[in-house]
């Protein structure tokens, strides 16, 4: 009976470690989806000359998933004339859209882009998009490095914590 309990504790703590490690592995993937949304938004705004709220809605509808829902939420917030765009965009949370995989800080290049293109003329739209793309690519690289270290650490930590608890119980 003790052995079965020890195996359950070891199994549960190992699964917890794997779950936390999976969160580290999901972050670069989610940032890549955000980068894909940025690229599609750039083509929608530059080549189709679509206003920002409609472009966000069109890209969000095409992408689907959490990223599409987040873009559609931003489009809905920006479509409301009563709110200031800066204040309105703060109410759209990236962390809640991704169930905690991404943080609200990860949306900053995207929000900075929206502020920049709101005041840019048609001839100078490419610079804000390139800056946001570079910021997101740097964030992807940092998240990938963090995922390589963090995932391995939490995998081993979960297993070792289970072994430690089992040793204490026996």
Q: Tens of pLDDT along 53-70?
A: 888 889 989 988 888 888
Whole-structure pTM over 0.85, yes or no?
Answer: no
Burial of residue 87 (CB within 10 Å: 0-12, 13-18, 19+) is exposed
Residue 82 CA neighbour count, 13 Å, CB half: 1
Average pLDDT over residues 133-154: 90
**Alpha helix positions (H), the chain:** 2-46, 52-63, 65-79, 85-90, 94-97, 108-119, 126-169
Q: What is the sign of the dihedral through the CA atoms of 86, 92, 94 and 96?
A: positive
């Amino acid at each position: 009976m003790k052995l079965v309990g020890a195996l359950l504790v070891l199994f549960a703590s190992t699964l917890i470690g794997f779950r936390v490690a999976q969160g580290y592995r999901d972050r670069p993937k989610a940032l890549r989806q955000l980068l894909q949304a940025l690229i599609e938004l750039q083509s929608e705004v530059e080549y189709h000359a679509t206003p920002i709220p409609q472009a966000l809605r069109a890209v969000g509808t095409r992408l689907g998933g959490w990223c599409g829902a987040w873009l559609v939420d931003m489009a809905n917030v920006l479509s409301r004339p009563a709110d200031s765009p800066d204040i309105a965009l703060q109410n759209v949370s990236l962390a809640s859209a991704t169930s905690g995989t991404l943080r609200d800080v990860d949306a900053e290049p995207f929000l900075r882009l929206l502020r920049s293109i709101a005041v840019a003329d048609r001839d100078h739209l490419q610079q804000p998009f390139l800056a946001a793309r570079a910021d997101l690519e740097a964030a992807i690289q940092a998240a990938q490095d963090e995922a390589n270290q963090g995932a391995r650490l939490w995998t081993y930590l979960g297993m070792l914590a289970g072994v430690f608890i089992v040793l204490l119980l026996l």
